Structure 1
Amino acid sequence: MRELRRKVLLPVFQLSELTTADDPRALKRVIKQGIGRSALTYHYRFVWDGQAGQGFNYNLFPVVLDRNAAPWPLGTLYILAQLEAEAPPAMATYQSRADDLGAYKEWLDTQNRPDDLMFQFPKIKLRRPTYRYRGYLQQLIQARELAPATAKRRMGTVVAFYRWLIDNNYFQPEYPPWEEKRYQLFFKNTEGFSVSKSVVSTDVSIRAPKSEDPFAGTIQDGGKLRPLIGKEQNWILEATEIKGNTECYLIQLFMLATGARIQTAGTLRLRHFTQPNPGYAKSLTGEGEVFKLKAGPGTGIDTKNDKSGVLQVPRPIYELLRTYALSERTKVRKGRFVAKHGEHPDPYLFLTQQGNPYYTAKAEALCFNPDLDRRYEKTGQPVRQFIQEHVIPYVREHHDKNFHYRIHDLRASFGMNMTEQMMELVQQGTITLSRARMTVKDLLWHESFATTDLYLNYRSQMDVIYEAVNGYGRQLQEWIEQAMKGMEVTHE
């Protein structure tokens, strides 16, 4: 089945309600009805929460659509109810939930009498919509049309949606929409302490077992990251330079030099690189000097999970970015931003040719903007698009036809660069393995050594895997040759 558009994002959404003309907060709206017909006039006011002292105003609000691309009231009301319970909300989360609900509504609309089916929970379990939808998702998984993790998330959203419908008395099912099981989950936190968590599982949940490919060459560090070897790092910078994109070159170079993620590189501020007398410190690796750049809440630079830390920016990289920050190119782009949006209190370092940010800082995204005129959040799309359309094709044409990478792989590449540098010092007897381990952990801002050890063991683990496969391959070849000799004897 062809998937249709499931949601639409409204740049500006302000919750309002009808009121009378004598309401002091009333606003008048006039809708023309055409020549010869009286205009439709009514009064409304924005909903205001007196206790919280705020209204319900959102940018990029997701409206759930049905199969005919019309708004689905119940789905959209559910999203609004969830948003009202969180302040300030992360809109990307609710946009994903709206997409899940749109997928469910799309499935409902392909069934007979979908509006009735949604609320029919008969005695026979497999006729209930929750079980039927679970079966449909499993069919998509079997047909390889949907990833198990996506199916699991969609089913979870539908379960949460029905819980909300029941709790708010939109309906009461004749028979339960699912069967529940409660159990305690025991695990260790990042500090190594044992903790437990009460978990509720349903029999409509979809399992998404993780299957690790030992040949993928990835490291699990906030996602599956593939460290690029030295020549691959040179290839992507060569391609970016030849294609003439200075900003993408500097962003990637910064990530390779510091291990920063795209949201960190994309939210660097101009003021961070225009200080009159920047101070430098000795590098953690013992080679050269670095500029210690604070990142996280309160700095203007975004980090994953709002973690605070210090980026160790090599002095040559910092001075290169300082030259860029003071360049005419930067002034022109900043001027284009000001012309479109007005003066920014804390300008970004990197802007596109049109004067737009590459990445919208979280603090700005959480602030309601009544003048927003776009239907998407800026999360580094220009960099990703440039990589897909220019960098990867160039490298495939000139170096390796099977080459691929994603922007976050640069973080893993930095991690492996630092790990190999530290291990060389260990082998030389300059530092201890414990010191090397701690240094890599600090450079990558890891919560626990478990993630750091993935870098320390990466090369040796890959060598062991390939050696095992090659050794088994040699054994198989011997068996094949023995079988061939046996067939020759039998033939004679």
Structure 2
Amino acid sequence: MIDFYKFLAKAEYFIPEHPAWKTRQVNLAFKTIYGAQVVKNVETTDLHIEAPKANDAFRETILDGGELRPLTSVEQRWLLDALLAIGNTEMYLLHWFMIATGARIQTACTLRVGFFLGHPHAFGGHLAGGRQVVKLKCGPGTLIDTKGGKHGILHIPQALFEAMRTYAHSDRAKTRRRAAKRGDQQNQYLFLTNRGQPYYLSKDDARVFDPEHTSSYLCDGGTVRKFVSDRLLPAIRERHDQQFHFKIHDLRATFGMNCVDLLMPRVQKGEITLSKVLGTVQELMWHSSLQTTERYLQYRSRMQVIYAAIDGYGEQVQAWIAGANSLRGSDE
């Protein structure tokens, strides 16, 4: 709006009798994608809209393309156990893949079957611990979608890769591919519904008009999200915790925290440096900004401080209650 009124004044369509705002110069400090500190001089005004903020001291989230909540190791076990009990193979592998690689939903759902049916793959060492992995290129030119068209490499643990290869060769997967548009061929989606529809339509396919795609769920992973809300969450809540909640993108943050938890003991032993952890997690999660990666390293310590403070206050409250009860007893 300020730019709009500046334009009006410059064009002499509207010139206010009195100054509409006061301007001043401020310096904004931020970090580049390489971690260098940069200061930029900008002009600001005294106009702003007050928006009250409710700061939650117990906020268990990390800001990474949204507020993400890493699942604890216990919650991850609940999740995979519930998926096994439900018995939907595609959903089980999708969730396992996202937890194990940090892939976003559009990446996991646009994997192509040819990668898992093709020539034998060489297994390399995982960046976060030396485990055996298969590397998969994603982004433009690979048919596998990424956010913002970014190029990246996913590190798939060998056990997960073998499970997905077995699925790709299964009669269940072949039946779904035969029912799909373009049939059973190398560039077909690995994961399809029982009607042969993709869970997430790739950008290339979305550009081609197809009157048969009548369900809105087919376009952006809605089928997966509906499965989570209608079947997965109720199953976990019934078995474990009525208050349990998560959204599909939380699995990305879960992967990031799993990497940090795996590497930090090596830092404490002096085997690697903290900067090595930062660089490794940044590479595994395709972060453009080191500042985003730093939030993962700070998460555990931040939560420990918060809960230590609350626990200490709780003990003090109990002491006050005990003191009040003793006084009441003496009065009686």
Q: Tell me the TM-score normalised to structure 2 length.
A: 0.83
User: Could you tell me how far 1:259 is from its partner in structure 2?
Assistant: 0.7
The answer to whether structure 1 residue 190 and structure 2 residue 43 are counterparts is no
Q: What CA distance in whole angstroms lies between the structure 2 residues aligned with 1:209 and 1:392? A: 32
* Residue among 216, 219, 234 paired with 1:378: 219
Counterpart in the other structure of 2:302 = 461
Gap change, CA 1:197 and 1:328, over 3 Å in 2 = farther
Cα distance in structure 1, aligned partners of 2:285 and 2:64: 10
Once the two structures are superposed, the pairs formed by residues 340-359 of structure 1 within 5 Å of their partners are 346-359=187-200
Partner SS for 1:466:
helix
> Residue 183 of structure 1 contacts residue 200 of structure 1 at CA under 8 Å; is this kept in 2?
yes
Is the counterpart of residue 440 in structure 1 residue 281 in structure 2? yes
**Contact 1:259–1:410 (8 Å) recurs in 2:** yes
CA distances 1:185-244 after superposition (whole Å, capped 9, x unpaired)? 7452533433456779987xx554554423121111111111111121111111111111
> Which residues of 2 match residues 38-77 of structure 1 at below 5 A?
none
Q: How does 1:168-207 map to 2 (within 5 A)?
A: 186-188=28-30, 190-191=32-33, 192-195=37-40, 207=50
The one-letter code of the counterpart of 2:226 is Q
Contact 1:189 1:195 in 2 (8 A): no
User: Is the contact between residue 112 and residue 187 of structure 2 (CA under 8 Å) also seen in structure 1?
Assistant: yes
Contact kept in structure 1, 2:31 and 2:291, CA below 8 Å: no
2:80 to 237, 243, 259: 237
1:369 to 198, 209, 215: 209
Aligned to 1:273: 116
Assess, with a 3 A threshold, how the Cα gap between structure 1 residues 180 and 317 changes in structure 2: closer, same or farther: farther
Shift of 1:484: 6.3
- Do 2:167 and 2:173's aligned partners in 1 also have CA atoms closer than 8 Å? yes
User: How far has the Cα of 1:478 moved from its partner?
Assistant: 3.9
Secondary structure, counterpart of 1:286 in structure 2: coil
Residues 481 and 234 of structure 1: is their aligned pair in 2 closer, same or farther, counting only changes over 3 Å? closer
Match of residue 412, structure 1, among 241, 250, 253: 253
Distance 1:476 1:319 in 2: 54
The separation in 2 between residues aligned to 1:361 and 1:425, in whole angstroms, is 39
Contact kept? 1:351, 1:357, Cα under 8 Å? yes
Evaluate the alpha carbon distance shift between residue 265 and residue 181 of structure 1 in structure 2; reply closer, same or farther with a 3 A threshold: farther
CA distance in 2, matches of 1:381, 1:295: 22
Residues 383-442 of structure 1, C-alpha deviations (whole Å, 9 max, x = no match) = 111111111111111111221111111111111111111011122332222222221121
1:301 maps to 2:144: yes
Alignment-mate amino acid for residue 30 of structure 2: K
Q: Does 1:387 align with 2:235?
A: no
Whole-Å separation in 2 of the counterparts to 1:308 and 1:199:
36
How many pairs align? 317
1:371 aligned counterpart, secondary structure: coil
Distance in 2 between the 1:288 and 1:218 partners? 28
> Counterpart of 1:320?
163
Gap regions ≥5 residues in structure 1: 1-155, 167-171
Pick closer, same or farther for the CA change 1:215–1:292 going to 2, 3 Å: same
Do residues 218 (structure 1) and 61 (structure 2) align? Answer: yes
Deviation per residue, 1:24-59 (Å, 9 max, x gap):
xxxxxxxxxxxxxxxxxxxxxxxxxxxxxxxxxxxx
Structure possessing the higher radius of gyration over alpha carbons: 1
Among 244, 249, 268, the alignment partner of 1:403 is: 244
Counterpart amino acid of residue 442 in structure 1: E
- Give the Cα separation in 1 of the matches to 2:245 and 2:77: 14
One-letter amino acid of the structure 2 residue matched with residue 294 of structure 1 = K
> SS of the residue aligned with 1:294?
strand
Matching of residue 261 in structure 1 with residue 101 in structure 2: no
Aligned counterparts of 1:198 and 1:284: Cα–Cα separation in 2: 43
Residue identity in the other structure for 2:107: T
TM-score by length of 1: 0.57
- Which one-letter code corresponds to 2:203 in the other structure? K
How far 1:305 sits from its partner (Å)? 2.0
* Kept in 1: contact 2:113–2:186 (CA 8 A): no
1:457 aligns to what SS in structure 2?
helix
SS in 2 for 1:346: coil
Cα–Cα, structure 1 residues 363 and 455, in superposed 2: closer, same or farther, change >3 Å?
same
Look up the match of 1:22.
Answer: none
Structure 2 unaligned segments of length 5 or more: list them: none
Closer/same/farther in 2, CA of residues 470 and 247 from structure 1, 3 Å limit: same
Per-residue deviation at 1:447? 1.9
Change (3 A) 1:197 1:275: farther
Cα distance in 2 between the residues matched to 1:303 and 1:334: 23
Equivalent residues of 1:270, 1:325 under 8 A apart: yes
- State whether residues 123 and 158 of structure 2, in contact with CA within 8 Å, keep that contact through their aligned partners in structure 1: yes
Greater displacement, 414-423 / 188-197? 188-197
Q: CA RMSD in A?
A: 3.3
Higher-RCO chain (CA-CA 8 Å, sequence separation at least 6)? 2
- 1:282 & 1:345 partners in 2: Cα distance? 27
